[in-house]
Amino acid sequence: VFTSDNVPQAPEDPMFGLMAAYRRDTVEKKVDLGIGAYRDDNAKPWVLPVVKQADEILRKDPNLNHEYLPIAGLADFTSAAQKLIFGADSPAVKEKRVATYQTISGTGAVHMGGLFLSKFYPRPSDQPIYFSSPTWVNHNQIFSNVGLSSKTYPYFSTKTKGLDFEGMQSALESAPEGSIILLHACAHNPTGVDPTREQWKEIAKVIRARKHFPFFDCAYQGFASGNLENDAWAVRYFVSEGFELCVAQSFAKNFGLYGERAGAFHFVTGPGPDAVNTIGRIFSQLAILQRSEISNPPAYGARIASIVLNDPALFKEWEANLRTMSGRIIDMRKKLRGKLEELNGKDGSWRHITDQIGMFSFTGLTEKQVLKIRGDAHVYMTKNGRISMAGLNTGNVEYTAEAIDKVVR
Ligand code: PLP
C-alpha cells in the first residue's frame, strides 16, 4: 500500500538540521546557540544537585517497584504541581476546582489541552486558536494535529525588540468572542519578551470582556527569574480574577529532567455553584483521553520531582539550584550586552538582551546575518535570530559578541 509516491518526505525539523550542522563542524571555537537545554559554564549538561539527592533517596527506597502509575499520575506529584503553579493558598485548589493529570512533559500537557478543547470546547469547530507571533514552533503542529486551526496575534515588535502591546491588545479585542488564546506564562519562547504585570492586567481585561479562554503554557517557572512566585504571577493573577483556564506545566527546564518527561496538565473551572460538578466531569473525560493515548504516565521524573517538591529542605535547595541556573543566564545576558556595547558604542541598541528573560533572546539579527555568522565565525543560531543564552559561557561570550558585532556593522 505504501510507496514513496503516497508518503511525501516531511520537511526536516529546522532545529535538528541546525544541531546536525553544528555537530559536523570540526572547528574548535564553534558555539552552539540553538541548544534548548541548560548548560553550565563548561558547556556541559547540569544534573541539579537536588535531583542527585532525590535520586539517592529513591534508590534506597525498599518499596520501589515498576508498577504502573495511576492514569492521572503520581498523586503526590500532581498535588505538588498544583501548589507550585497556583500557590498553596490558591482559591481554585482550595475549592477543588482544578483537574490535574500528569503528562508527557510540557509537550504532552499542551497536547492534552488541545485534544480536550478540540472535543469539548463549546464553539464552532472551525473557530481558530490564537498564538502569539512568533510562538514555540511546536504549538502549530500540536494544535493542528488535533484539528484546531490557528491564527496569530502580534507579539514581538521588531522596532523596539520588546512587546507589541497595542498590537496584541487590539488583536485580542477583534478576535471572535470566546476564542482560545494561548499565552506563555513566563520567559516567552522564542522572544524572551514577557508582558509587565500592568500589561497582564490589561490583557486579562480584554480576555474577560471578549469572553476568551486563556490557555497558559508554562515551561520555565523558576528558570526565568529564579523566583517561582514571580514566574507564576500571571497564571495566579488570572486564577485570582476567577477565570476558567488551563495550564500546561513542564518540569523539563526547572528540574533539568528533560528526557524524563515530567509534566502536568491543569484545568481550572471558574468559581460558582456548578464548578465542582463541572471539574468532576472534565476529570472523567480527561481520563479517557489519557487512557487512549498513553494509558499511564512515566514514573521516574515524577518521583524525583515529587520527592523534592514535598520536602521543605529539598525544596529550598531546589530554589537555590534554580537561582544558580537563572543567575548564570542573567549574567551571560549582561556580559553579552556589555561586550556588544563596548564594541559598538553605548547607543542602547542592545538593551533588549538584558530586558528579555529566560532561556532565549531574540537578537533582531536577520536571516542573512545569522547565516553569515554561521559561515564566518561558526556560531550557530536559528534563522529567526533567536539565541539560547544557555549556550553562552565565560569562555565564548566575548567571541560571540565580536562575531555578532562584525555582521551588524
Ligand atoms: N512550551 C514551550 C513554550 C517550550 O519552550 C517548551 C520547551 O522547549 C515546551 C512547551 C515543552 O517542553 P517539554 O515537552 O520538554 O516539557
Enter the C-alpha cell of residue 348.
542602547
| Distance from C-alpha of 154 to C-alpha of 135, rounded to nearest angstrom | 10
Name the pairing type of β-strands 150-154 and 386-388: unpaired
- In this structure, the residue with its CA closest to atom 6 of ligand 1 is 219
Does the pLDDT at position 146 exceed 70? Answer: yes
Q: Is the CB of 77 under 6 A from ligand 1?
A: no
Q: 349: pLDDT confidence band, cut at 50, 70 and 90?
A: confident
Q: Looking at residue 127, what is its pLDDT?
A: 82
Residue 391 grid coordinates: 549556550
Closest CA to 106 of 187, 175, 47: 187
Q: What is the pTM of this model?
A: 0.96
The answer to whether residues 165 and 132 touch, using CB atoms and an 8 Å cutoff, is no
Q: Residue 407: is its pLDDT beyond 80? A: yes
Q: Can you say whether residue 81 is alpha, beta or left, with left for phi > 0 and alpha for psi between -120 and 50 degrees?
A: alpha
- Give the catalytic positions in this structure: 136, 217, 253
Mean pLDDT of the chain: 95
Task: Determine whether the shortest distance from the Cβ of 185 to ligand 1 is under 6 A.
Answer: no
Question: Each residue of 353-377: pLDDT tens digit?
Answer: 999 999 999 998 999 999 999 999 9
Q: How far apart are CA 407 and CA 162, in angstroms?
A: 22
The pLDDT assigned to 125 comes to: 66
Task: Give, for ligand 1, the residue of 13, 189, 360 to mutate: max count of ligand atoms closer than 8 Å to Cβ.
Answer: 189
Q: Which atom of ligand 1 is nearest to the CA of 36?
A: 8
Tell me the per-residue pLDDT of 198-244, one tens digit each, with 9 for 90 and over: 999 999 999 999 999 999 999 999 999 999 999 999 999 999 999 99
Rounded to an integer, the average pLDDT of 83-89 is: 97
Judge if the beta carbon of residue 105 lies within 6 A of ligand 1: yes
What's residue 83's pLDDT? 98
pLDDT at 82: 98
pLDDT at 123: 80
Q: What is the 218 CA–ligand 1 centroid distance (Å)?
A: 8
Lowest mean pLDDT among 119-128, 163-172, 261-270, 391-400: 119-128
Residue owning grid cell 506529584:
77
Cα–ligand 1 centroid distance for 131 (angstroms): 15
Query: Closest Cα to atom 4, ligand 1: which residue?
Result: 219
| pLDDT tens digits for range 279-330 | 999 999 999 999 999 999 999 999 999 999 999 999 999 999 999 999 999 9
Residue 306 burial (C-beta neighbours within 10 Å; 0-12, 13-18, 19+): buried
3-class SS at 55? helix
Q: What is the C-alpha to C-alpha distance for residues 208 and 203, in angstroms, rounded to an integer?
A: 9
The pLDDT, as a whole number, for residue 13 is 82
